[in-house]
A and B are shown apart, each in its own frame.
Chain A
């Protein structure tokens, strides 16, 4: 009896010691850089490759917060992040115009694709113009699964509906309210169409039964910019760390890495590096 009690006591003490061991590491450091970014850079594994290199080169510690582009921009707007990596140029411009962000730089692009079940009930396969494909889906009343979360992908989707002069709604249009990976799974289970970035689609491909049906339209370009939150507006941002991250993302060495990322696994790169180019040059 006594022996058992001693054993339990020792175990408890050990566990308590283990628990308290985290105390020195629990709070933030001045070298922390908060990066608010879209889920696609996290879910494809790109940041897992780049961030350790940045940390080794500069000594900063990056905290990537993977949220939708809408939320990432909102965090930047309130000074709650130091640097942003997002993919919705039309929504990024107002922040730039208001001077809330600086060092706005083009990093890379890839493309969105419209995916759906192989039997393609709305017969959109091969359609050249994305907005036309959307029109066909709506006309057929075929199930479309939207992100519905104000992410960069959702913003692009909304602009395509607008271009098609349609207001989607009704039982054929469902909002998943979750990330791209989850949304693809839902669309696959329900045999619906969805708009996705190519990277997340390739990463999820083995789990889903969806084919790429429409691709290559200029409206489907997915453009990523990096930008620092303006320290002149928000005194609490880590300005030096943010600038270092912007410079890092557009440096030749990292641009080369971005261009090679995913080639070994998917046969083609997931992102195309664009530093130094202008947005208008893309898709030509």
Chain B
């Protein structure tokens, strides 16, 4: 049996026996990337809606910047976050370098343009007559926004899925600002990189399988929400 087979077997064994370190790393991965996604959704959805609905000077530039940001290299975000959070950097007094908070910040910065960009596209792709119709029906401002978001649900969930997928698979920024500290900032991607350096390929493969399963479960849940009552007839 090769490395891949052994890795698979090892992954099953670790999950079945409840290896505490692996569970700890898996939970932390979920928490850090989950919270980063949550923050990016709370900021990115309103920003995307704003860009889609408001007319103002500079809107085109902002929209381009958001779309450009969707492909922002995580390692550059990591370096920028690292420089900001170093002790003698601009945000050094917060003392956040090599903490989960620094990782959440970097990951939220990575996910924000993804969420905002997908949201903008989702709102813009709605039939423009729908807006008129909602207003004609006498909706107030908040009812209007709520109905619009509801209609754009498919695209909004795609935004969340893209954001989460972007950050949970990211390693460069997490390694740089988190430092891969055991029991504190070690997540699945950085643990995989470390186990490869240690020459423990079976363990690295096992952790990879766990990362894929975790990522799939979260995505499947979001997809279930997205596809709710959307089965092709």
Chain B: interface size category? 35 or more
Of the listed stretches B10-18, B84-92, B118-126, B141-149, chain A binds B84-92
Chain B nearest Cβ from A36, distance in angstroms: 9
Q: Is the CB of A18 within 8 A of B228?
A: no
Q: Is the CB of B229 within 8 A of A18?
A: no
Of the listed stretches B50-58, B61-69, B166-174, B195-203, chain A binds B195-203
CA distance A99 to B136 in the complex (A): 75
Q: Is the CB of A80 within 8 A of B87?
A: yes
Known: A45-B198, A66-B180, A207-B199. A28 touches B87 (CB 8 A): no
B residues less than 8 Å from A66 (CB atoms) = 180, 194
CA distance A63 to B183 in the complex (A): 10
Chain A nearest Cβ from B61, distance in angstroms: 34
Q: Is the CB of B194 within 8 A of A42?
A: yes
CA distance A78 to B27 in the complex (A): 34
Known: A8-B224, A64-B181. A236 touches B99 (CB 8 A): no
Say yes or no: is A26 at the interface (Cβ < 8 Å to chain B).
yes
A residues less than 8 Å from B179 (CB atoms) = 63-65
- Per-position contact with A for B95-124: 1 when CB-CB < 8 Å, else 0? 111111100100000000000000000000
CA distance A107 to B229 in the complex (A): 66
Instruction: Find B181's partner among A22, A63, A181 (CB 8 Å cutoff).
Output: A63
Q: Is the CB of B34 within 8 A of A179?
A: no
Instruction: Find B98's partner among A21, A23, A34, A39 (CB 8 Å cutoff).
Output: A34
Instruction: Find A18's partner among B27, B100, B185, B201 (CB 8 Å cutoff).
Output: B27
Known: A26-B104, A78-B86. A43 touches B228 (CB 8 A): no
Most buried by B among A28, A48, A236: A28
Q: Report B17-38 residues with CB < 8 Å from chain A CB.
A: 27-28, 30-32, 34-35, 38
Say yes or no: is B182 at the interface (Cβ < 8 Å to chain A).
yes
Q: Is the CB of A26 within 8 A of B92?
A: no
Instruction: Find B35's partner among A19, A42, A43, A179 (CB 8 Å cutoff).
Output: A19
Q: Report A4-42 residues with CB < 8 Å from chain B CB.
A: 4-5, 8, 11-12, 15-16, 18-23, 25-28, 32, 34, 39, 42
CA distance A207 to B99 in the complex (A): 33
Q: Is the CB of A19 within 8 A of B199?
A: no
B residues less than 8 Å from A236 (CB atoms) = 87-88, 92
Say yes or no: is B212 at the interface (Cβ < 8 Å to chain A).
no
Determine the residue in chain A with the shortest Cβ distance to B89. A80
Known: A26-B101, A27-B101, A63-B98. A15 touches B221 (CB 8 A): yes
Q: Is the CB of B196 within 8 A of A18?
A: no
Q: Is the CB of B101 within 8 A of A15?
A: no
Q: Is the CB of A206 within 8 A of B199?
A: yes
Q: Report A31-74 residues with CB < 8 Å from chain B CB.
A: 32, 34, 39, 42-45, 48, 51, 61, 63-66
A residues less than 8 Å from B30 (CB atoms) = 18-19
A residues less than 8 Å from B181 (CB atoms) = 63-65
B residues less than 8 Å from A5 (CB atoms) = 228
Q: Is the CB of B198 within 8 A of A43?
A: yes
Q: Is the CB of B38 within 8 A of A19?
A: yes
Q: Report B155-209 residues with CB < 8 Å from chain A CB.
A: 179-182, 184-185, 194, 196-199, 201
Q: Is the CB of B34 within 8 A of A19?
A: yes
B residues less than 8 Å from A203 (CB atoms) = 198-199
B residues less than 8 Å from A63 (CB atoms) = 98, 179, 181, 184-185
CA distance A225 to B218 in the complex (A): 46
Known: A63-B179, A182-B197. A16 touches B87 (CB 8 A): no
Knowing that A8-B224, A8-B225, A63-B184 are A-B contacts, what are 10 other residue pairs whose CB atoms are under 8 Å apart, sorted by A's residue number? A18-B31, A21-B31, A27-B99, A28-B97, A28-B98, A34-B98, A48-B182, A203-B199, A207-B199, A234-B88
The 3 closest A-B pairs by CB, nearest first: A19-B34, A181-B197, A22-B31
Interface pairs (30), CB distance under 8 Å:
A4-B228, A5-B228, A11-B221, A12-B225, A18-B31, A19-B30, A19-B31, A22-B100, A23-B35, A25-B184, A28-B97, A28-B98, A43-B194, A61-B184, A63-B98, A65-B98, A65-B181, A78-B86, A78-B88, A80-B86, A80-B87, A80-B88, A180-B197, A181-B196, A205-B199, A207-B199, A207-B201, A234-B87, A236-B88, A236-B92
